A and B are shown apart, each in its own frame.
Chain A
Amino acid sequence: MGEIKLENICKSFGTTKVIENLNLTIKDGEFAVLVGASGCGKTTLLRIIAGIGPATSGNLYIDGEEVSDLPPGERDIAMVFQNYAIYPTMTVRGNIEFGLINNKVPKAERTKLVEEVAEIVGLTPYLKRKPSELSGGQRQRVALARAMVKKPAVFLLDEPLSNLDAKLRGAMRSELIELHQRLGTTFVYVTHDQTEAMSMADTIVLLDKGAIQQIAPPSVMYHDPDNVFTAQFIGTPPMNIMPLGEKFLGYRPERVALDHAYGDGFYRKAGNVLTREMLGSETLYKVALENTVGSDGKQAEIMVKSADWKFKVGQACEVYVDKDDLYFFDSAKKRIREKENETVHRECMDMINRT
């Protein structure tokens, strides 16, 4: 019902090419999150789907129908803006039913729909108020209600939680997830916050400079990244990457053991603690590794997230990483997987053994 297909989408602003030949399919009913750093093109992509910033070339299909030339009001979509964009001169009720009036919905049905939606988002006592009399969270609910009342096939959300305080953000996050489960419509959600992406998404679409880096569910993104960019984007702190001959080696800070191995301790290096940050249940260490070169050509410095808080700054230690927690990337920074490329993978493992 609400499947979105983007085919060979190109977008330029003047002479600057922002997106080039992007292909993406978002399945019906999916909660897809477009995530990436600022300027990566995620909001541009969302606006292309919405129709308010059409693509320079390429095709867009919603539910099998080509909608590339259809005006935004005629596509079966609704959008929640980052700054809400609710009409400041109308009441909450007026805001919610504005689209319905445009679509010539009769008054009785309109009232019913508005009151239904207001009940779901908890705005029933505020229907007569104007936006200037509402708090940030309430305004956001108005924007949400306005989108929901149209009963669209696709919901587009452009960083809807970024203007809320931390506590409200957490509450709204779970509400949005519940909403998605309840309505079952396709959600396309844009954020720069990887935690939001990881916690809410069915599928994450990671973008960088207008190109898709990886499309995968959160757990796959974390455990099985396609390339260095993805490996370093997901996870705090990012994965430790260092050169391994022509290729690259990576492992996550939380999978490093200090002074004794978790498992087989396949990778072992001697090191020295440079900094120490006590986070509570975990401690973050920066460790300089002996006889190892880092990405910048100087001595390798890795981050270690450990439950062991007893190491002090300047203390010597040993780092251990299990065989299964090692990731290899080729010179083009693409992932080398054992299943796909056994020989190369084994070569990398041998290189570890030798050093």
Chain B
Amino acid sequence: MNSISVQARKPHRKLTEEEKAKERRKQKTRPYFMVAPAMFFLVVFTFFPIVYLIVLSFFKYNLISKMQFLGVDNYVRLFTVETTFGVALRNTAIYTISLIVLLIFLSMLLAIWLEHSSILNAIAQRLMFLPHLCATLTVAVVFQWLMNDEGMLNAMLRFFHLPALRWLNSSDTALMSIILISTWKSLGYYTLIMLSSLKSIPTELYEAAALDNTGPVRKFFKITLPMVSPQLFFLLITITIGSFKVFDTVRIITEGGPGDSTNTVVLWIYNKAFSGTIQVGLASAAGVVLMLIMAILTGFYFKALNNKIYYQ
């Protein structure tokens, strides 16, 4: 072993007890060093803000003067004095439910329609995905132009002898218009997800079903739906969470108006925290409420639907 010299390796000798202990310590602590950078970001940008949010919600703070402890005052104010919060909450709920229903229903329908492979369907799939790629600002500008009183949409309505709508300019129709715009923007994305999960269902199952004399409705509810249930569940959760957090669409297109008809929770928080009389504490309380609602909703989804989802 000693007569033959090996170039690159260090000479092998027995390690002392001290060196062994040091090596062991190094092995133990190395993983923590590896994970440290990611943990740092996680703590600084996720954990800390959540904790600080909850802390802030019990104070009165306008970024300039000192923080004042209020106890649960902010929370009481949210549901009594600040009536706009209730409106925002209600609008957000309507928006979320509408999007869930529209997006899941339509994306499923379109996915079934586009399932068959053909050139037309391939083109349709790609076109359908384009709105998802557009910037919200672009979408805002274009739809404001389309939804003008003398715009294209009203022109089409008039062509079919239907009454023209006020779209974004009336508090009756503004929320519906925002819902339409959001649906238009996201439909292609969710249709694509649904389409890929539909195509992953083995054709043999459908053949066996055909031999079992299965009608199309029963085939859909007993075979197709259970087989895509994981993706459907994913859609449900992402649409719910995404819709509850809607901000940029309403901020750019309507700024919450006309009146408060398109005010949403996140927009309300934003306005309270960064414009007018800055009330960070109040905004934080609203943020905590939003967080709790979403946590409860997601927990409910998991509990209620867990048995119905078939994971392969």
Contacts and interface: CB of A to CB of B under 8 A. Distances in A.
Nearest to A77: B211
Interface stretch (B39-47, B67-75, B213-221, B285-293): B213-221
B227 A86 contact: no
Interface residues of A, number: 25
Given A85-B204, A85-B205, A73 B211 contact: yes
A83 interface: yes
Nearest to B208: A85
B202 interface: yes
Contacts of B204: 81, 83, 85
B222 A81 contact: no
Contacts of A163: none
Given A88-B312, A89-B226, A78 B211 contact: yes
Nearest to B210: A72
B271 to A, nearest CB: 47
A98 interface: yes
B310 interface: yes
B310 A88 contact: yes
Contact of B214 (A89, A98, A150): A98
A74 B211 CA distance: 8
A150 B208 CA distance: 13
Nearest to A53: B207
B101 interface: no
B19 interface: no
Highest count of chain A CB atoms <10 Å: which of B204, B208, B215, B229: B208
Contacts of A99: 211-214
Given A88-B312, A89-B227, A73 B214 contact: yes
A81 B208 contact: yes
B211 A87 contact: no
A52 B213 contact: no
Contacts of B218: 102
Given A73-B214, A98-B222, A89 B310 contact: yes
Nearest to B207: A52
Nearest to A132: B312
Interface in B196-254: 202, 204-205, 207-215, 218, 222-223, 226-227, 229
A87 B214 contact: no
A85, A86, A146, most chain B CB atoms within 10 A: A85
Contact of B212 (A51, A83, A98): A98
A85 B223 CA distance: 12
A327 B210 CA distance: 47
A139 to B, nearest CB: 13
Contacts of B222: 87, 89-90, 98
B88 to A, nearest CB: 41
A271 B212 CA distance: 61
Contact of B211 (A79, A83, A90, A132): A79
Contacts of A87: 205, 208-209, 222-223
A86 B208 contact: yes
A178 B269 CA distance: 75
B201 to A, nearest CB: 10
A98 B212 CA distance: 7
Contacts of A52: 207, 210-211
Contacts of B211: 50-52, 72-73, 77-79, 99
A102 B221 CA distance: 13
Contacts of B223: 87, 89
Nearest to A86: B208
Contacts of B214: 73, 98-99, 102
Nearest to B213: A73
A322 B210 CA distance: 55
Interface in A11-51: 50-51
A170 interface: no
Interface string A138-176: 000000001000100000000000000000000000000
A301 to B, nearest CB: 44
A218 B188 CA distance: 58
A79 B208 contact: yes
14 contacts: A50-B207, A50-B211, A73-B211, A78-B211, A83-B202, A85-B202, A85-B208, A87-B208, A87-B209, A88-B312, A89-B229, A99-B211, A102-B212, A102-B214
Interface of B: 202, 204-205, 207-215, 218, 222-223, 226-227, 229, 310, 312
Given A72-B207, A89-B229, A90-B222, 17 more contacts: A50-B207, A51-B210, A51-B211, A52-B211, A73-B213, A77-B211, A83-B204, A85-B202, A85-B204, A85-B205, A85-B208, A86-B208, A87-B223, A89-B223, A98-B209, A102-B214, A102-B215
